Every structure is written in C-alpha cells, then in structure tokens.
Amino acid sequence: MNLFCDSKADDAKRRQALYRGSVFVYQPSPAALMFCQFAQEMIEAAFHPYEARTVHESIPAERCAGILAELKPKFIHHPKSKELIQGLLAERGCDLDKTYFDVPRLRTAFPADYLSSGIAYAFHPHRDTWYSAPLCQINWWLPVYEICPENSMAFHARYWDSAVTNSSSSYNYYEWNRTSRQSAAQHVKADTRVQPRPQAPLEPDPQLIVVANAGGVMLFSAAQLHSTVPNTSGLTRYSIDFRTVHLDDVWNKRGAPNIDSACTGTTLRDYRRATDFTTLPEEAVSLYFDGTEAAFTPSPSGAE
C-alpha cells in the first residue's frame, strides 16, 4: 500500500493508483474547510446547549440517537451539502461532467460503549464492495473536527490482495434498502441487522491509521479492508464521507480487483452527476445487473 500526501497526480492517474490499493491524503483546503464548517454548525445546533464532542457525558444514549436520527438525514439531503461536494471535487481536479457522487453521510464514533450501533454504527473490518459497491468506487473521508489515532479509522493493509472469508453472499443492496436502512435509529444497545462480516479471525496488524487535520481529505478504494478504531480518546469523532465513480470506469468496468465479494445488487443508481445531479445512464447501470434488480426501490432518506 502506498500513501500519497498532497499528490499532484491528475484524477486519471490517481484513480489508477487507488485501484491498486494506494491511499491519498490532502491537507485542508478551502472547499473542504467550508464543508466541515457547515457540518460543525449543524452538529452544534443539534446538540445545543451541550458540547458536541463530549455529549456522551451529558445525555443518555437513547436521547443522542434521537438527535442523530434528525440530524443525519438533514445533513444528507441539505442542498448545500451537494454544492459543497461540487466545490471539493473541482478543487481536487475531478471532471465534473464525468464524476458522479452519492449522498454525503455524517458519521459519528463515540467513546467506549456509549453508542456504537445503528445510527452511530462502529464498523467492524469490512470492504465497501461487500455492501454492493462497484469496484470503481472511490471513498472520500474527512474529519469534521481534529482527530487522533485513538478515534480515527484503520486500514488493514495485508488484506488488500488476500481474501477474507466473509458473509457478503447474504447481502443484497435492494433488500437492505427495503428492510434495514430505515431502522438504524432503533438499534441503540446492539445492532441486529444482517451485515457482511468476516467469518474467520483476522490479523489486524499491520494497520495504517491516518490522522488528518480537520478538513483534511482522504481517498481510498471501496475494496480496502478498513474499520472504525475503538474510540478511547474521550471525544466523539465526527466525520463526513461520500463516494464517487467516474463514468468512463463504469462503462469499461475498470476498478479494483474483486478479491472476496459475493454480494448482489448495485449501489450505482444512487449516484448523481456533479454538474446537474442527474443519474447515471441506465444503460451503464444495467452492465451491473445480476437478476435481483427487479426488487429495486428508490433509496429511502437514509440516516446512517
């Protein structure tokens, strides 16, 4: 795994490197900082009068889950969120005519066992490709506030090209949308929803933990095995993530290798073009059909 810091590579070369397992990190930039400031304003208004990063010391987990159940969809669907993604993509040299993105998600990682299920799910080691993501998906991740190694995210580098026995064969994206996504806020003490997981013990080390400044941007492939670091920092981590695909790569089925994913369905209908928010051409999406698409229903509001 190669780590590129403030790389000058253009988007085409960057995507090629990402598909080979590299990770790119960029220092805070104007567009990224604007995105974080917007998220901070929404977070702090939602939790007022409590301090957002120590709210776990002030209110019960159930109340916090209720606040997040309102805050997260509001952030996802706010028109300004899409505009801020446009600015960030342009800043990072993407062709907005050919770059498509899905909705931005506001993530939380609370200390200890306060709230780690459902609406604030603490992700076990996983690849996004186990969740029906296309192999050409690029993940964009940025911390809203300052983070540290004890509340960040980890990459499990040894598994980039090594298969992990997992339960992704039981996952269908359309069925997840129909039965599980909307119930996120109900899972406070434990998360009983069926999600792809490793089915054999893993060796998490060596792992790469990138500590970016607030507004720093990290890019990585959907095929990277990664997880939420158990938060022992005493502060809640808030982060933004969204995903992109490039139209040429969708058409030509370019992307990272499929090492061990056996899920069905595709998330490609969730993506919107960065210029005008239109969907991917149906002819392109149909290249990824597997026979389960007849059960497709439009994605619900989504709070996760």
pTM exceeds 0.75, yes or no: yes
Query: Which distant-in-sequence residues (6+ apart) come within 8 Å of 184 by Cβ?
Result: 69, 118, 119, 121, 303, 304
Q: Which residue, among 141, 165, 105, 142, has the nearest Cα to 221 in the 3D structure?
A: 141
The token pair that represents 130 in the structure block: 């186990």
| Nearest-angstrom CA–CA distance, 237 and 145 | 7
Angle at CA of residue 79, ends 240 and 62, nearest 5°: 50
Q: What is the CA 49 to chain-centroid distance, rounded?
A: 29
Q: What is the pLDDT of residue 301?
A: 44
Helix orientation angle between 30-47 and 79-91, rounded to the nearest 10 degrees: 150
Helices (H), the chain: 11-19, 30-47, 61-77, 79-91, 173-179, 247-252, 282-285
End-to-end CA distance of the chain: 29
* Phi/psi of residue 5, nearest 5 degrees: -110, 120
Four-residue CA torsion sign, 6, 251, 304, 157 = negative
| Full set of structural domains in the chain with CATH | 3-295 (2.60.120)
pLDDT per residue, tens digit, the chain (304 aa), is 899 999 999 999 999 999 999 999 999 999 999 999 999 999 999 999 999 999 999 999 999 999 999 999 999 999 999 999 999 999 999 999 999 999 999 999 999 888 876 566 666 899 999 999 999 999 999 999 999 999 999 999 999 999 999 999 999 999 988 875 554 444 345 545 678 999 999 998 889 999 999 999 999 999 999 999 999 999 999 999 999 999 999 999 999 999 999 999 999 999 999 999 999 999 999 999 999 987 665 444 444 5
pLDDT at 138: 98
User: Which among 44, 1, 58, 57 has a CA at the least distance from the CA of 25?
Assistant: 1
Based on C-alpha coordinates, what's the Rg of the chain? 18
Comparing C-alpha atoms, which of 96, 92, 71, 99 is closest to residue 304? 71
